[in-house]
Amino acid sequence: MEYIGMYANIILPLKLAYTMSYSIPGPLERGIRKGSWVTVTMHFRRYLGIVEDISYSAPEGIAPSRIKPIDTVEPIAAVSYMEIEFWKTVAEYYMCTVGEVFKAAYSGSFSKQIEYLAAQKELKGEEGAADRLIREERENRRGKTEWHMPVLSDMQAEAVRNTEKAFAAGRSVLLNGVTGSGKTEVYITLAIHKLLEGKQVLYMAPEIAMSKQLCGRLKNVFGESLMIFHSRQTSARKKQIFNALKNDSGSPHIILGTRSAVFLPFENLGLVIVDEEHDSSYKQEDPAPRYNGRDTALMLARQLGANVILGSATPSLESFFNVRCGKFAEVRLPEKYYGEKEPEIEIVDTIRARHLHDMKGSFSNRLVNEIAFCIKNHEQVLVFRSRRSYSPVIQCSGCGEVLKCPNCNVNLSYHKYSETVSCHYCGYSAHFNPVCPSCGAEALVPKGAGTEKLEEELKSLFPEAAIERFDADVFRNKTRSDAILKDFASGKTDILVGTQMITKGFDFENLALVAVISGDSLLSFQDFRNDERATELLYQLRGRAGRRKTRGKMLVQTDHSSHPVFKSLSEGSPFETRIEDMMTERSMFNYPPCSRMIRIISRDEYEGRLLRTGKALADALSDIRGIAFTGPVAPERNRLKNLYISEIWIKLQRTPLLRQQKAQIASAMESVRKQLDFKTDIFPDVDPL
Ligand code: ADP
Ligand code: ZN
């Protein structure tokens, strides 16, 4: 037989529908295997890729002379077969390429080398540094595997027993426990049990930057066994974590990580904890893979035979659905650890209050009195408003024109501290000029109140109080935002004004009153998930307002006081009751979780071409049997960063046909892409949020 050499399929960090074939030069044959890191050239650029497969026959349909050789094999520990299988599972589920998943998995760790620009030297340098770090860490950890087991309450101990019983029966668990019930203590106990079995543990949190308190608690328990992984870490640190997991020969590790931690090379994973499983930060919107860290963790655990516990005070409808159909076991912690009651709720009808001249600016007199009472008693107040900036709208008092971003179909907001107007979608910013671009009158006026204005109003209402603000504008400055949180936690600050960011992961002991300003802005009628999200946010906020000793209070100001979202809250209904109603609605209209949803998004700088794309997509999709879709439709913000946007929403039944239908949808998209010469950007979003 004629010897023709060896060939390899290479996974490249690109949106390529197929893996690329390269030949293996003789001298490299011995050092290469499945999972090896290699560099190759494509379109005159060098890339770092992974060997998916090796074969002894040349790929068909390509002249052997046109097949390029692999350039180098890199001295990086090979990726395991399991990892590649997992990437394939994720790529198939989220309808993207294996290369895109590979890129997400290793972005930032070897990514400097992924867009390979003769970075060889740097690679070797870093490798050395990382190796040293690992050795030091391993030496550090030797003999230090005494984790501090929490002393559980009876209820918590029972939750642990029931969870482990479900695990033993091969089921995943939803831990449905109110804020302050001690879910974290339950997770810690479960984690210690797994570590003692010599297994790895992955503890997922929606955002690490916001989880200082959690990091501290886990560090106290796990010491050197804890490693923290998130996307903003240095590549040396990331590499160190990769390597430590791959050579987990010392004591086992627990990783605290954000969504991308599901792509770490676990070899001996025993447990995945998904904390705050309802949180939409688990979803990656852009770029592909547009995955949900929670659901991807379930896929990972299934593949590796690990157990999963998802926990929340406000579980997602998806998880309740999974409990109902028997896929998850539900374990409940219905009471707070310190036994305090849920806060008293008061809804203030702002239409009525305005009518009766019972308002001081944005604050009702009811709320002003409540805040004054708290300050007098040295108790703390949290004021929530969903919009940052001074004013979220700028309008001409002459012609009524509302100022829009030049790049987006989005209202510009006014920031007083910097005298600027800005777009919160594309980052556009300009000096505030009161001349209306439409009628020329000098009549532009900021309208409405964002967090910055509320802060100003509060300062004039309570000149003696210590008042701070926490939102994305403040968060940009790390030192300052750390100080603000610290001062509030220590009781130095009386009133904290903030956006969604303050609802996450904080446990403030002396917080007596939570106020929601303009609760209406939580309602929107465009989106079927809106009620779920508003309810989730309000119940999360409610969970913050409970002191150790006395009962807390929550006050919501709204123009829609009879809306079911506020009604159920004020009636003190448990979260599950609301979920029940929403589930009935979803089932009636066959929305997720009762069905599956795929959103196809098209983006184009030309509106006309986008319309043609939409039509072509709709035509192609109507040929697929058994799927229902609406669109193309323009979303509320139908132009962002100079690109027009249209969407098609596809509903699929939860049947075994799903896989096949996804493949058909993918090929329909591909044919439209080709038909339109790849000019419009078309991509799928599976399980959109
Ligand atoms: P959750 O995660 O459910 O919101 P946490 O685990 O943060 O609740 O617990 C709330 C508070 O109660 C924390 O301050 C925690 O230290 C305390 N706590 C809960 N369980 C215990 C326990 N078994 N022993 C000591 N403190 C506990
Ligand atoms: Zn913009």
Q: How far is the CA of 208 from the centre of ligand 1 (A)?
A: 19
Q: Which residues contact 285 (CB under 8 A, 6 or more apart)?
A: 685
Q: Which residues contact 427 (CB under 8 A, 6 or more apart)?
A: none
Q: What is the pLDDT of residue 289?
A: 94
For 512-551, the three-class secondary structure string (H helix, E strand, C coil) is: EEEEECCHHHHCCCCCCCHHHHHHHHHHHHHHHCCCCCCC
Of ligand 1's atoms, which has the minimum distance to the CA of residue 152?
23
How far is Cα 201 from Cα 308, in angstroms, rounded to an integer? Answer: 10
How far is Cα 168 from Cα 278, in angstroms, rounded to an integer? Answer: 25
Nearest 10 degrees: Cα torsion 363, 368, 374, 376 = 140
Task: Give, for ligand 1, the residue of 178, 181, 185 to mutate: max count of ligand atoms closer than 8 Å to Cβ.
Answer: 185
Residue nearest to atom 19 of ligand 1 (CA): 182
Tens of pLDDT, residue by residue over 617-632, are: 999 999 898 889 998 9
Task: Give, for ligand 1, the residue of 507, 539, 549, 575 to mutate: max count of ligand atoms closer than 8 Å to Cβ.
Answer: 507
3-state helix, strand, coil in the chain (%, to 5): 40, 25, 40
Q: What is the pLDDT of residue 132?
A: 57
Q: Are 496 and 484 in contact (CB under 8 A)?
A: yes
Distances (CA, A) of 164 to 191, 235, 308, 330: 11, 36, 10, 12
Residue nearest to atom 11 of ligand 1 (CA): 180
Phi/psi of residue 364, nearest 5 degrees: -70, 155
Q: 393-396 and 444-447 as β-strands: parallel, antiparallel, unpaired?
A: antiparallel
Helices 658-675 & 607-622 angle (0-180, nearest 10): 140
Distances (CA, A) of 599 to 81, 266, 494, 539: 31, 31, 44, 28
Token pair, residue 247, equals: 């050579």
How far is Cα 163 from Cα 151, in angstroms, rounded to an integer? Answer: 17
Task: Give, for ligand 1, the residue of 184, 333, 547 to mutate: max count of ligand atoms closer than 8 Å to Cβ.
Answer: 184
Q: Where are the alpha helices (DSSP H) in 152-208?
A: 154-168, 183-196
Handedness of CA 166, 168, 170, 173 (dihedral sign): positive
Handedness of CA 60, 62, 64, 67 (dihedral sign): negative
Q: What is the pLDDT of residue 134?
A: 52
Residue nearest to atom 21 of ligand 1 (CA): 182
How far is Cα 619 from Cα 611, in angstroms, rounded to an integer? Answer: 12
Closest ligand by atom to 410 CA: 2
Ligand 1 residue neighbourhood (C-beta within 6 Å): 150-153, 156, 177, 179-185, 337, 507
Instruction: Identify residue 81 by its one-letter amino acid code.
Output: Y
Backbone Cα Rg of the chain: 27
Q: 380-384 and 495-498 as β-strands: parallel, antiparallel, unpaired?
A: parallel
Q: What is the pLDDT of residue 683?
A: 94
Q: Which residues contact 314 (CB under 8 A, 6 or more apart)?
A: 278, 535, 536, 539, 540, 575
Task: Give, for ligand 1, the residue of 337, 541, 549 to mutate: max count of ligand atoms closer than 8 Å to Cβ.
Answer: 337
Tens of pLDDT, residue by residue over 553-601, are: 999 999 999 998 899 889 888 888 888 889 999 999 999 999 999 999 9
For 9-32, the three-class secondary structure string (H helix, E strand, C coil) is: EEECCCCCCCCEEEEECHHHHHHC
Of ligand 1's atoms, which has the minimum distance to the CA of residue 177?
3
Q: How far is the CA of 323 from the centre of ligand 1 (A)?
A: 25
Q: How far is the CA of 152 from the centre of ligand 1 (A)?
A: 9
Q: Count the Cβ atoms, other than its own, within 10 Å of residue 57.
A: 9
Of ligand 1's atoms, which has the minimum distance to the CA of residue 186?
6
Q: How far is the CA of 544 from the centre of ligand 1 (A)?
A: 13
Tallying the residues shown for the chain, one arrives at: 689
How far is Cα 65 from Cα 5, in angstroms, rounded to an integer? Answer: 13
For the chain, first and last CA: distance in Å? 57
Q: How far is the CA of 428 from the centre of ligand 2 (A)?
A: 5
Q: How far is the CA of 181 from the centre of ligand 1 (A)?
A: 6
Phi/psi of residue 79, nearest 5 degrees: -75, 145
Q: How far is the CA of 430 from the centre of ligand 2 (A)?
A: 11
Q: How far is the CA of 284 from the centre of ligand 1 (A)?
A: 30
Q: Name the DSSP class of 66.
A: G
Please report the domains of the chain, with CATH numbers, ordered by start residue. Answer: 6-105 (3.40.1440.60), 129-333 (3.40.50.300), 344-390+449-578 (3.40.50.300), 596-686 (3.30.70.600)
> 407, 301, 383: which is closest to 86 by C-alpha?
301
How far is Cα 356 from Cα 250, in angstroms, rounded to an integer? Answer: 70
Q: How far is the CA of 410 from the centre of ligand 2 (A)?
A: 6
Closest ligand by atom to 221 CA: 1
Which residue carries 């025993």 as its tokens? Answer: 270
Closest ligand by atom to 641 CA: 2
Q: How far is the CA of 248 from the centre of ligand 2 (A)?
A: 47
Which residue carries 């986008």 as its tokens? Answer: 610
Which residue numbers in the chain have pLDDT < 70? 1-4, 108-145, 210, 248-251, 505, 525, 547-549
Q: What is the pLDDT of residue 568?
A: 87
How far is Cα 357 from Cα 284, in angstroms, rounded to an integer? Answer: 45
Closest ligand by atom to 180 CA: 1
Q: 363-364 and 359-360 as β-strands: parallel, antiparallel, unpaired?
A: antiparallel
Of ligand 1's atoms, which has the minimum distance to the CA of residue 543?
4
Q: What is the pLDDT of residue 110?
A: 57
Closest ligand by atom to 424 CA: 2
Token pair, residue 284, equals: 């990656």
Q: Which residues contact 384 (CB under 8 A, 6 or more apart)?
A: 498, 499, 502, 503, 514, 515, 516, 517, 541
Give, for 303, the enclosing helix (H) or strand (E).
helix 293-304
